[in-house]
Structure 1
């Protein structure tokens, strides 16, 4: 690429000193994803203090620690109880037959295992110690660059499959790019949206699971990552067994963690599908025809399809509308395919299986909402797509070129521009029918040389918010920027800025806004 490589410091200084005062000036603010309790929360408190102390003690970026904790547990220690894969505390320190991260953290910190399991401050310190140890073992030279920790984050996932480790690390870095403010038992944990250039190292060669949306053998909207053959029974359903049930589960852990656990031969458990919380992404792990070990009841295993949902039974924050809609669409597809009635007698929770000892999906799962989506198709009430070629809906200066280079593009072509330390955004315009909360997604072609820290601007009702997206990966499909409060009317809603420290073209292709 022909553009100079700006340092993050120079871009930040340029932003502070020369940012224009126009209505569409780029502002770097966190995307707010809070619960109703946030209004009474404080920005100080024991968790915030624990993140700061652990970051200083082990010279690890505080925001990176918080992003890992959010993706693992939404900052909830779950009273020291383990996850499905044996992870403890807000940092999910794992102890199981094949992973001894908890024990390693104990050795590194001098803390007892019980303290690491039950004490938040000790647990966060253990997570920071692990991350530092992984960086040292990998020979990483981070020099204060948050993107330089990528390979250590991938190692923190405990995934044996490099593609799943990359999936995990990409999720953590996506949180850094979007930013968030979340409530954690009375205090706010904030992670500002920030640019970064992820140094993936060898993980750059691993499969990008986000780009495998057509790889599932049974459901076109899912990726395909097979579970270990030790964790399910090969079969020929519906020849040998009829499929007449769909069983809803909650992972008691993260999306990537569940995928990794089902790949682990010692798990002795699996599910047919796993669904991500924030955007409803689906991974299939066992063929519909085969018998996943998910129900804890052999008869129900033989007759059902199991769907795992990322999250914890005790936390409502994991059960997003995107997850409900995506899962409902999958369930409706399965019901239609196998002639399963779309009623609660045939679409059941794990807790409803005879002899069940599990309580998922638990009290926070909204069955009325879910079944309404299943029977109604789970569609959106309003949606619009704006392509870069949509007449009157896209504006960009003469500095933006037009390309057909990548086959991952949406429509006939897409727009590109070099990054510069100035504001020259391309804008997508939409007629928002009413003020409210909308999901904003973007489509771009991913090329290894494209910008790893492209700023997307969303014009919200409370001002512009910036989300940083790595356009070198994860392209060729709709990628969620998050949900935002938008004002009604016909106006510029999403912009692509050229103001970034990353090298390589920034891309403006298409935007989808839905309610």
Structure 2
């Protein structure tokens, strides 16, 4: 039964007009400071806490770990979860419409939406679509887990005593996954959180440091995690990670796949971590990486819970970036998802576990935690002019780089040391949640994508909202303007990217971008670009143009006998006299890793060729690029 007759009465019971600024007698400080009123999300958390006996801070931290307090407009997550408390209702590919009379199958205790319905008397439709009901349902479920474990409930109980219930709420299949979720919740609790939700609700959760009672995990019915030899994976200890090796084998005489053995960093430094999305489901992706005739990457991460598989050792070279130089110097991580669907797949569990893995890998390999080294696949340059148009654009406009770098512990720069003026070096930070740009063609040609936060600002040919977008001759050789198509990165300055200001006109800022001026609006009252000192490159005196490269390959004289010279070919872009571009790395290797035959073949194979010609990595357009040190001068910009 769906209990429709009980909806109004049950909702009235949880939507109480409770003040969000008072302090309960003898309790901790208030967990929420937000907009007042019974319809506010803050009031809903407080009311649910009181009614179901869950500490408000616990309720807030669990919700933040699940969804960052967003409701996702009633849409299901990849694991069939709804609303800010992520109440689960089963496979989202079959559970499509709770309001249209479609039955979802009998209630299951593992499906928390139905458990919440049984506990609260609320209809599953309300639990899915109404934020107040959803929060009440989550509180009821947490309280039921606490009682099942024989532990006390109450809004004034200590948050430390809810570890077991929080672990149960994770919906994990074993204790390792459950404890990883609970540990995340307590980390959030210790750090505090504040943000504006997708519905405009401003929520604040003050930090509350407690020592959780982790021994409660033993009270749950969850089995221990299956033993996985840690030596088989290169993952942090608090990440659910297992080994699923990609095959290194001959496929036909003279051919092999799907990666190369190496001995990095001796055969090339690891400078980058490349963030991909799979453009497919996790099982299909795992099948592909086990195909010796296909490509490879180091890790795959599942959307629903961030579970991770490692396929290729970090010291070997996977075939993932579409640019051999970047492959030589990078680790690739595939995240289950579709770039055009964004938040549907990019779950909080995915972001948090990905950040754990990247922090671990960056520390182990001395990789800077910045947007020049933690790259989106869409930042990887084409190798030569003919490959530029075919480069990938994932993880796309809906990957929240600002949140991701907060999780990495390296927030994207968001204040100006100096005024933003001509010559300034600026970092773009558009505030993902409120930055809802018009994007098209997500579901078909000519369609407008569903509004959601985006990670970029559009760049125009003149300081006017009606001006055409800038051109990218690599993507459109016919020199037509870029478009708003979801896959078109030609006129986008993404969060964390850096540029040099060419001109300022009122609220508009022009930057040097792909060899020309590109304009975006950045009002002083609400800026999208922030200035700080840094190094830039300018063409050497007397040079009218400077070539730009997609890889930093050695000069011809560096190649030993038996290894063919890899031609150093510039891209179709150039840097003009008077222009300047930010330097993102002055210490990259000029090299080529020769590995074109199966291991054990000629002794001249599997060799790192190192050149003497120096290159700098620069921010150039949406993608990174390289310039020869001999062509440019380094200057300080501020």
Q: Shorter-normalised TM-score: what interval?
A: 0.3 to 0.5
The structure that is helix-richer by fraction is 1
TM-score by length of 2: 0.37
Q: TM-score normalized by structure 1? A: 0.45
Greater C-alpha radius of gyration? 2
Higher relative contact order (CA 8 A, sep 6+): 1
